[in-house]
Amino acid sequence: MAVFYMPIPLTKRKSAPARVPPAEDVLDVMTRELERSIKGLVVPGSPRPYEMLYALRRVETLSLSAAYGGLWRDRASTRSSIYCDIRVGNYQFDNVMDGGLDDRADERESADWIDAPDDLELRALQIALWKLTQLKFDEALEDYWDHRKALVSEHLRHEVGALTRERPVVHIEPLSDDPFPREAWTQALIELSRRFLEHPEVYDPDLTLAATRIQRWLVTSEGTRVLTEDVYVRVGAEGWILSDDGVYVEGSQDRYFRSVAAVPGRDGIAAIVDAVLADLHELQTAESPGAVIGPALLSGQAASTLFHEALGHRLEGERLVARGEAKTFAHKRGERILPRGLDIVDDPTVTHGDNDEELWGSYRIDDQGVRAQRASLVEDGVLKGFLGSRTPIPGAARSTGHGRHDGVERPMARMGNLIVRCREVAGTPWAHLKQRLLEIAREQGRRHAVVINSIRAGETSTSDYDFQVFKGELADVSMIDVETGVERRIRDVELIGTPLAALQRIVGFGRESGVDQGYCFAESGSVPVSGIAPPILLSELELQQRSTTSYHEPLLPPPFADDGSRGRRQKLRERGRRRRGKDAGKRR
């Protein structure tokens, strides 16, 4: 066994931050190497590249996490990575099949060579591009011949071309070298995390702040030159509480921002902690009703998640041409898929929501070098279009600027800001929707109706192999007794449905829109998205029982709450009831 020894310097020196060359110089190097490659990549008897793209991402991240007055995580990093797309053949037929949905780039040899020098030293960067390009070209030729083989062995009836023709874009933004206010954020999190010492009934609390700055360079053989910078900040708190029947229940709150200036100060973060604590104490005594079916009223935030999972993913253009997709809405253009009065667009150019909330799904140029555009999807309930990347789809010859990816997988059409609007300017007030909810429940002979105030996360399947269903993880849901009108919190249920059935059961929509934000995961990786929607009323919705496991409380209380006595659980229950006081039973 070899043993390696590295001497430790006697004097610890603080390293200076790496000097980064001018952004325009980086673009010039990428352009020169791209031009050299597209001319020189020639293999006799094989197709030549007809289009190439280089992208460079320099990602600065800061991750902070605190609990009980201690800093559990304090990590900062800067990483640079490169992406190369080579298309061999021509605009009608090339190496990409099924819109690239089954590329699995992260499993290929080229995925091991996407690192770029963190200091962006120009010669080292050019060498990294040269190495990745050779591997990508070899893979492109293999894919091209596989595609030609598939023409013989399979009937690729949905193919309508290989790549759309787009106008070159030149878009240059200034880059910032201002550091994140790490010390101020850290001190605020540490101070506020001490609040959990006052709540021994809350387990595994976490107060977090995650900030990311993405600087992106992009050049294409068609003449596109792009330089952009985006900032994403998430502030959140979470914790767990043991319910009366021994189930650990989660409570969490997250806020999303697109600039450092918008991040709240101490009072704003304290409000997030307060909201989580209040939510946990309510969940501790909430009921677990099992499976439920009946009419349901969804807040704007919850409705946004439903539209995202049931509709949005199925309108992504590549899903219309890929062989393994169910193509739920492929033949429904011009047909009614929603009630009259609802419009849906996806508009990445919108930067703020109705309450001036910054939107995570906003961007100017997509990851294929196309300007972001407003895509009209549904007009007055009728399906009008789809989200487009540079993959041609039936009925659309141009991209809508929605080609996005995580920097590794091939870009595909993805949602940015999915916006649902009702044509009636006033909409229906929440109270009136609630009244109509109870009326529908009575007409159906139901004992209860459901109100979903927020959804934590969602998922769906669009493959033709799997079931066409979607699911939502409910964060705040309650049931209303139809006879008495009493509303009570419930837990341990999740929303399930099939897309066509769920959308056809919308019977009303409300006034004030809600916003849902976060990361969306699909074949092209994780991308930031936003959704805006009004409250919606459904005549029927199904909730299924979540898997739950019962646990006993810890044998010992946490050290900061151990007074030497036992019977702690009863004391904590009494303390929690006193804390809730007059607020118990109140709902939004």
Residue 319 sits in the same domain as residue 457: yes
Residue 51 lies in a domain: yes
Per-residue pLDDT, 425: 67
Residue 161 lies in a domain: yes
Cα→Cα distances 340→382, 421, 426, Å: 8, 11, 15
Per-residue pLDDT, 7: 35
Sign of CA dihedral 138, 144, 150, 156: positive
Per-residue pLDDT, 427: 72
- The amino acid present at 493, given as its one-letter code, is V
Query: For the whole model, what pTM was predicted?
Result: 0.91
CA angle 264, 267, 268 (to 5 degrees): 40
Residue 554 lies in a domain: no
Last residue of a domain, one of 172, 199, 216: 172
Last residue of a domain, one of 172, 199, 234: 172
Give the total number of structural domains in the chain. 2
**Mean per-residue pLDDT pooled into runs of 10, the chain (588 residues):** 35 50 96 97 96 98 98 97 98 94 94 97 98 98 94 73 96 95 97 96 97 98 98 98 90 96 96 97 93 96 96 96 91 95 97 93 98 98 97 93 97 98 82 96 96 95 86 95 95 93 94 94 96 97 87 89 68 52 40
Residue 348 sits in the same domain as residue 492: yes
DSSP-derived pairing of the beta strands 115-116 and 170-172: unpaired
User: CA-CA distance, 420 to 347, in Å (whole number)?
Assistant: 11
Per-residue pLDDT, 587: 37
Per-residue pLDDT, 569: 54
Residue 472 sits in the same domain as residue 326: yes
Closest Cα to residue 144, out of 85, 86, 89?
89
Residue 243 lies in a domain: no
Closest Cα to residue 296, out of 427, 474, 448?
448
Contacts of 261 (CB under 8 A, 6+ apart): none
Per-residue pLDDT, 588: 36
Per-residue pLDDT, 402: 98
User: CA-CA distance, 313 to 542, in Å (whole number)?
Assistant: 21
Last residue of a domain, one of 112, 142, 172: 172
Residue 341 sits in the same domain as residue 471: yes
Q: Which domain holds residue 27?
A: 23-60+82-172
User: CA-CA distance, 75 to 62, in Å (whole number)?
Assistant: 6
Residue 360 lies in a domain: yes
Residue 105 lies in a domain: yes
Collapse the DSSP code of 577 into the 3-class scheme (helix H, G, I; strand E, B; otherwise coil) and give the result: helix
Say if residues 52 and 15 touch (Cβ distance below 8 Å): no
Residue 109 lies in a domain: yes
DSSP 333: T
Residue 523 lies in a domain: yes
Residue 365 sits in the same domain as residue 506: yes
Residue 298 sits in the same domain as residue 156: no
